[in-house]
Amino acid sequence: MSIKLQMKHSLSQQPEVSSVAPLFSRRQFLQTAGGGFSGMVLMAMLAGETNAEPHYPAKAKRVIQIFCPGGMSHVDTFDYKPALEKRAGQPFDPDGKLQFFASKPGNCQPGFWKFQRHGESGLWMSDLFPKLANCIDDMSFIYSMHSKTALHGPACFMMNTGFTLPGFPSMGAWVTYGLGSEAEDLPAFVVLPDPRGLPPGGIINWGAGFLPAVHQATTLDTSNPRQPIADLFPPDEFAAQTKQSEQPGLDFLQKLNRLHQQPRSGNSELDARIKAYEMAARLQLSAPEVTDLASETTATRDLYEVDHPEIGPFGRQCLLARRLAERGVRFVQIYCGAENTTAKKIRPNWDSHEDLVRDHGYWGAVLDTGAAALLQDLKQRGMLDDTLVICTTEFGRQPAGQGKQSKGRDHNAGAFTSWLAGGGIKGGVGYGATDELGFKAVDSPAYSYDLHATALHLLGIDHTKLTFYHNGIERRLTDVHGHVIQELLT
């Protein structure tokens, strides 16, 4: 059953109709349909004011997604290709008719790390991930992922929003729009960017698009425990100001805000801006608490290697993701890598054109430690059963070497691997396949639509019914595509 309510998003837009199967009362809908502060970090403070009823019993209550921007090489990590070893050094395209994204195909280049079978499932994983290999029976792999583009920004948008163009709601925004949050003093949707910076495409990757602006993510600075949210606390020169002394001014400001809002009821951003500032006071207590790792045991900190100079920052992100999840945050996204720039010591993400061993070698150790620790920690706390963990990248890399020494690999939109664990996922399963060289998805090719449909299903949401009527179109995360990958489900 769904409800349809009309609302205006701005004075210049036509009324929009929202169709959402989770049951909202009219009062709940109007409370949560306000917009937010475009471009400001407190955008989504009240995204989780209410909890909606899912379409059917959910197996997962929350999602933690790890995103590896830059294009992780599937043939060096999860997708073992013996035929590529047999053709090592031979021209990948003897006829010279193919053109990769930024180069002509070189010689066939097998994985730079040895592959081995692991666990009771006997699935293959490369030696780049020795710690994740111990978790393989809790993981399911989609070997046949592919994308519509080999450009980093648009491919990141597609993986996050289902569209290659900017301006569409992210998966986290859709989830919190449909389900709300269990947290009272924390946002429903939190993003932990890589300390090196934002990913390709920046904050658009976790935007709310045309959904009420309140559903955009809140970003936390994991490198700054004293100020985890920008400008959450006043500067030092205001240290003498107390809550009691500033209350009259805040009350007066609230009256001005409401007076300004009354003739502008169609502007959803005004309401969310007001609500976000109201929530900020509560966040001054909750945000520092959740980012303070002092309460964690030495064993837990060691598991995530939070004090390691290179591995530690991502380990801290993963540990914070667990802390946010256990406090009721509905959707947490972690970035393992930043914007794509040329390498200094290493590339700042997985984009390994010049030297894959150098770059993947670095990022592999980072991801291996943090992701394995997260899975183990969730499992021992009994949280993995109802926490869906997703790890993905925007596209893969080519099976042929790039450069004069064949040390790098070019972009490959035709094939990559994503994996899932927990939250109703059947561990130790591989779905789909690429061709014998890992060039193209050939068996059960899957787009982001299918991954998103599966994740929503595990959260109790029918992806075809979580919709929002915008500019004459009944929009949804999966556009007009997508199917639930039943083979991955328990």
* pLDDT tens column, 355-384: 999 999 999 999 999 999 999 999 999 999
Question: Which of the residue ranges 62-66, 207-211, 213-217 would you say has the lowest mean pLDDT?
Answer: 213-217
pLDDT at 241 over 90: no
pLDDT of amino acid 286: 62
Query: pLDDT digit string (tens) for 63-118?
Result: 999 999 999 999 999 999 999 999 999 999 999 999 999 999 999 999 999 999 99
Give percent above pLDDT 70 in the chain: 81
Average pLDDT over residues 136-147: 98
Give percent above pLDDT 90 in the chain: 71
pLDDT at 248 over 90: no
Nearest to 287 by CA among 244, 226, 349, 354: 226
Per the listing, tokens 């951003």 go with 269
pLDDT at 483 over 90: yes
pLDDT at 256 over 60: yes
Average pLDDT over residues 396-410: 97
More confident position, 425 or 275 = 425
Average pLDDT over residues 336-360: 92
Average pLDDT over residues 157-165: 98
pLDDT at 21 over 50: no
More confident position, 258 or 311 = 311
Report the distance separating Cα 139 and Cα 161, nearest Å: 23
Whole-prediction pTM value?
Answer: 0.85
Question: Which of the residue ranges 126-140, 226-240, 318-332 would you say has the lowest mean pLDDT?
Answer: 226-240
pLDDT of amino acid 42: 41
Helix (H), strand (E), coil (C) string for 402-438: ECCCCCECCEECCCEEEEEECCCECCCEEECEECCCC
Dihedral pair phi/psi, residue 251, rounded to 5° = -65, -40
pLDDT of amino acid 275: 65
Kindly state the helix (H) or strand (E) to which residue 272 belongs, with its residue range. helix 268-291
pLDDT of amino acid 91: 97
Task: Give residue 218's Cα distance to chain centre.
Answer: 13
Dihedral pair phi/psi, residue 484, rounded to 5° = -75, 130
Nearest to 32 by CA among 14, 11, 49: 49
- pLDDT bracket for residue 3 (50, 70, 90): very low
Looking at the DSSP assignment, which residues form a beta bridge with residue 389? 64, 421
- pLDDT bracket for residue 340 (50, 70, 90): confident
pLDDT of amino acid 259: 85
Report the distance separating Cα 23 and Cα 465, nearest Å: 12
Query: pLDDT digit string (tens) for 277-289?
Result: 665 656 666 667 8
Per the listing, tokens 């997962």 go with 60
pLDDT of amino acid 120: 98
Task: Give residue 390's Cα distance to chain centre.
Answer: 8
Mean pLDDT of the chain: 87
pLDDT of amino acid 20: 44
pLDDT at 17 over 50: no
pLDDT of amino acid 38: 30
Locate 387 and state its tokens. 């926490």
- pLDDT bracket for residue 221 (50, 70, 90): confident
Q: Rounded to a whole number, what is the largest CA-CA distance in the chain?
A: 78
Q: Which residues contact 357 (CB under 8 A, 6 or more apart)?
A: 112, 407
Q: E-assigned strands of 318-363?
A: 331-335
Average pLDDT over residues 254-275: 76
Q: Nearest 5 degrees, angle CA 169-CA 384-CA 482?
A: 35
Locate 303 and state its tokens. 């598991």
pLDDT at 473 over 50: yes
pLDDT of amino acid 260: 84
Report the distance separating Cα 97 and Cα 93, nearest Å: 7
More confident position, 362 or 8 = 362
pLDDT of amino acid 31: 40
Report the distance separating Cα 484 and Cα 466, nearest Å: 14
Query: pLDDT digit string (tens) for 37-76?
Result: 233 334 444 444 445 678 999 999 999 999 999 999 999 9
- pLDDT bracket for residue 276 (50, 70, 90): low
pLDDT of amino acid 344: 77
Average pLDDT over residues 260-267: 78
pLDDT at 328 over 90: yes
pLDDT of amino acid 281: 59
Average pLDDT over residues 327-346: 90
Percent of residues in the chain assigned helix, strand, coil, to nearest 5: 35, 20, 50
pLDDT at 477 over 80: yes
Torsion of CA 168, 41, 459, 180, to 10 degrees: -110
Question: Which of the residue ranges 40-54, 208-222, 437-451 would you say has the lowest mean pLDDT?
Answer: 40-54
